[in-house]
Amino acid sequence: MNRPEPEAIKALSKERTDLVVVGRKPVMRYALAVLTSFNRGSTEVVVRGRGRAVAKCVDVVNTLRRSFYRDLKVEDVRLGTDQLQLGDRTVYVSFIEIRISRRSR
């Protein structure tokens, strides 16, 4: 089933190359994606979760802080609602965006 991608995600994806969108996979999969982004030289990563993945998005950031990066800093947390068109009806889905960075040593 193809799920429509809202315009907000498309715009954010074009602006920032270091965006991790959390979905149905295990938490460690997304944590490793953030680790890879930091190891490639990114100083800031946005972790985004939508709907049921909001809690998993928070779990990803907490896993990174607890297990990998003690110097991880949460720069900003954005909460909002995406409006999706599914056929003839409109569905509203909550989202969270957590912007994290590594503190300078």
Write the pLDDT tens digit of every residue in 35-89: 999 998 888 999 999 999 999 999 999 999 999 988 899 999 999 999 999 899 9
Q: What CATH number is attached to the domain comprising 42?
A: 3.30.110.20
Q: What is the pTM of this model?
A: 0.78
Higher pLDDT, 14 or 22: 22
Query: Does residue 72 lie within any of the structural domains?
Result: yes
Alpha helix segments (H runs only) across the chain? 7-15, 27-39, 53-63
Query: Does residue 54 lie within any of the structural domains?
Result: yes
Q: Which residues contact 97 (CB under 8 A, 6 or more apart)?
A: 12, 46, 47, 48, 76, 77, 78, 80
Determine the structural domain holding residue 66 and report its residue range. 7-102
Query: Does residue 25 lie within any of the structural domains?
Result: yes
What integer pLDDT is reported at residue 43 of this predicted model?
86
Higher pLDDT, 97 or 1: 97
Question: How many domains is the chain built from?
Answer: 1
Query: Does residue 2 lie within any of the structural domains?
Result: no
What integer pLDDT is reported at residue 12 of this predicted model?
47
Q: How far apart are CA 35 and CA 64, in angstroms?
A: 8
Contact (Cβ atoms closer than 8 angstroms) between residue 97 and residue 11: no
Query: Does residue 1 lie within any of the structural domains?
Result: no
pLDDT at 9 over 80: no
